[in-house]
Chain A
Amino acid sequence: DSGVTQTPKHLITATGQRVTLRCSPRSGDLSVYWYQQSLDQGLQFLIQYYNGEERAKGNILERFSAQQFPDLHSELNLSSLELGDSALYFCASSVGRRGDTQYFGPGTRLTVL
């Protein structure tokens, strides 16, 4: 158990809908990272937040947005969902901002029908 929690574990929804994925980092960690892992693609970095501020952005679609709250938990919002958004979404956390020691949560499996 890495200490990073993600909810929900599974999510099934329809195209065009909007969902919110939640992540609680390990105690003491200030950075949160979001990743997407599809069957035919590796782990794709989406975005990093450090202590409430956006720090780095990867291949995140405009339909997706994230934020980190004062209590350091983070939410990833996915809107206008398409079939291709079906994937595992992982959250990771680290103490600092460098990203060298990230601890991953168990993931949320999103299925878009």
Chain B
Amino acid sequence: QKEVEQDPGPLSVPEGAIVSLNCTYSNSAFQYFMWYRQYSRKGPELLMYTYSSGNKEDGRFTAQVDKSSKYISLFIRDSQPSDSATYLCAFNTNAGKSTFGDGTTLTVKP
């Protein structure tokens, strides 16, 4: 069983829609929860990071973590065509080991 399962997509939405991206994990040692955006196999770009259960908001992005259910989500409000990319969830343990999801490809249509 993989440590991280990410909704595979692809996801296609109209401009202005609310997007929900989701990952589940099984490793209780994961302490840090991140979301990255990757355009066309370029270097991933850090969007959000958090350490605790609950919601964290940054502009149009909200990261949600539920440690008891081992579930994290990223919500994008008022999605724009420029949000079209692959989104990666990522996890770190205190020992420094990083684990990424396989990514969800999002297309936002004008």
Contact = CB atoms under 8 A, between A and B. Distances in A.
A107 B41 contact: yes
Contact of B32 (A44, A45, A57, A98): A98
Interface residues of A, number: 30
Contact of B92 (A4, A50, A98): A98
Nearest to A102: B46
A66 B104 CA distance: 30
A99 B88 contact: no
A48 interface: yes
Interface residues of B, number: 23
B94 A42 contact: no
B45 A55 contact: no
A100 B32 contact: yes
Q: Residue among A43, A44, A107 with the most chain B CB within 10 A?
A: A43
Contacts of A97: 96
A88 B97 contact: no
Interface of B: 32, 34, 36, 41-46, 49, 51, 88, 92, 94-103
Interface of A: 2, 4, 33, 35, 37, 41-45, 48, 50, 55-58, 88, 90, 92, 97-107
Given A55-B95, A104-B45, 8 more contacts: A56-B95, A56-B96, A58-B98, A92-B44, A98-B96, A99-B96, A100-B34, A104-B36
